[in-house]
Amino acid sequence: MKNTWHKFHRYYFSFNRSDRNAITILAIAIFVVLVGIIILPYLVPQQQEDFSEIKALFKAWEAEQNEVKATKQLTLFEFNPNTIGNSDLDSLNLPFFVKQNLVRYRDAGGKFKNVDDVKKVYGMTDSIFQIIRPYILIEKSNEEEITSGFAGNLNEEQINIPNQIRNDRQKSVSSAIKIKIELNSADTTDLIQLPGIGPVFSKRIIKYRDLLGGFVKKEQLLEVYNFSPETFENISDMLTVDSTLVKRLRINFLEYSDLLRHPYLNKEQVRGIINRRDTAGPFKNLSEVASTQVFDSESFARIRPYLTCK
């Protein structure tokens, strides 16, 4: 070690004074740079990136994926093989090839006149049929219904009674067996009673109702994720809506995040409400809300039942 130091010492002092000064300054500069590289990250505060929005988007995507997975949970429910739509059929707990063959049979002009006719579907085994048999509902035609109501001794005049009378009878029978569900007070147990509404859709309806604050009309069910028009048509007459149960948004008091949770409000509209409230004071009536330029007539008509200035 000493020999090395002596060699360096002799080598260093072999340069003239100006060269030695230059070497010293260069060494100090290199040392400062190296030290700076090491300690600078600890001295300069690192700017924290805001990933909250990205995390929120990821959570929303994850929730949607879970929702999609949930829809793949098949259930058994009452269905008419002559009229069931593709969306409801996808949710029915039957082998895929059986459902596919059922549709093909129907598209080819086939019709199921009674429950046992479902056995005609290619791939329908006895074990599968026995499981689904209690869930098969096949409505009789008007003539079949009337004929079955007599002892079989009908003459031609009786068989050809006016269609209006037969239709009235059918309506009275069907209305007697239909249930009524009020959407804003129903729970999942109530909703499951509706044909085509299983556990997945009942939970999804309740979740969307909570986001809205309640339904103001039953057609809003079509806004529920993957809710088919066919299902709505089947249950529409069984539904009622009490709009007095709707929870309204107090726009003079709620903050940005509270307003943004509503499905009918976007960021631009919420900012418009907050900015107008901050600059001109509380809203006196909903006409003032409509006058803000962030709403068109259609979007305001949708959100109006959910707003209050009180």
44 in a domain, yes or no? no
Number of structural domains, the chain? 4
**CA-based nearest residue to 257, from 246, 247, 248, 267:** 267
Q: How far apart are CA 231 and CA 159, in angstroms?
A: 34
Q: Would you say residue 119 has pLDDT above 90? A: no
**CA-based nearest residue to 265, from 239, 303, 291:** 303
Q: What is the percentage of the chain residues whose pLDDT exceeds 90?
A: 35
User: For residue 273, what pLDDT is reported?
Assistant: 94
Is residue 274 located within the same domain as residue 254? Answer: yes
Is residue 230 located within the same domain as residue 276? Answer: no
**What's the pTM?**
0.47
Highest mean pLDDT among 84-88, 129-133, 202-206 belongs to 202-206
24 in a domain, yes or no? yes
Q: What is the CA radius of gyration of the chain?
A: 37
Is residue 210 located within the same domain as residue 260? Answer: no
276 in a domain, yes or no? yes
Range of the domain at 13: 2-37
Is residue 265 located within the same domain as residue 304? Answer: yes
